[in-house]
Structure 1
Amino acid sequence: MGVNVNVDTCDGCAECVDTCPTESIVIENEKAVVDNDTCIDCAACVDACPTDSLSME
């Protein structure tokens, strides 16, 4: 699986970064970037995203 980022709606707020238990998300160029190799598919970031820009693949 993994997390998909909708770059059109992501505003780089970093709520997902703060929520991720494996530190698999960083903000680059004001957008969330997910390292799906270290992501554990817990979906905490999906739930935390205020713009609904993250989804499970």
Structure 2
Amino acid sequence: MTHVVTEQCIRCKYTDCVDVCPVDCFREGPNMLVIDPDECIDCAVCIPECPVNAIYAEEDVPADQVAFTALNAELARAAGWKSITKRKPALDDAEEWKDKPGKLSELVR
């Protein structure tokens, strides 16, 4: 099993989760984080740290977010999506975007 970052992270990119990850499984893109499924040890310490509730255990991903399981795996291996191990400020307009649904079209790869 692994954990999955879902749509809620897009255009927010809060990084509270990376500070607690014991295996550095998070990868950073321009406007979202993802979890590398090959690195995640399923410890779940990241879940309560996410201020927008974007992280789920794979078996708990909401039905409308299941595509993010494969998307996390794909983007974790994408060129430019590097490991992130230290907290950074959220995106400047994160507060505006944190509660908006339907953000997949906003994802910058």
User: Shift of the alpha carbon at 1:52?
Assistant: 0.3
Q: Provide Cα deviations, 1:3-55, integer angstroms capped at 9, x if missing partner.
A: 11112x11211111111110000221221111111111001111111100000
Counterpart of 2:24 in structure 1 is 23
RMSD over aligned Cα atoms: 1.0
TM-score, normalising length: structure 2: 0.48
Equivalent residue, structure 1, for 2:34: 33
What is the count of residue pairs matched by the alignment? Answer: 56
**Distance between the aligned counterparts of 1:38 and 1:49, measured in 2?**
19
Q: Which one has the bigger helix percentage?
A: 2
Question: In the TM superposition, what are the counterparts of 1:3-18 in structure 2 within 5 Å?
Answer: 3-7=3-7, 9-10=8-9, 11-18=12-19
* Structure 2 residue matching 1:55: 3-state secondary structure: strand
Superposition TM-score, scaled by structure 1 size: 0.86
* 1:36-47 alignment, distance < 5 Å: 36-47=37-48
Q: Which amino acid aligns with 2:19?
A: D
Mark the runs of 5 or more structure 1 residues left unpaired by the alignment. none
Cα distance in 2 for partners of 1:30, 1:15 equals: 15
Distance 2:20 2:40 in 1: 12
One-letter code of the match for 2:51?
A: P
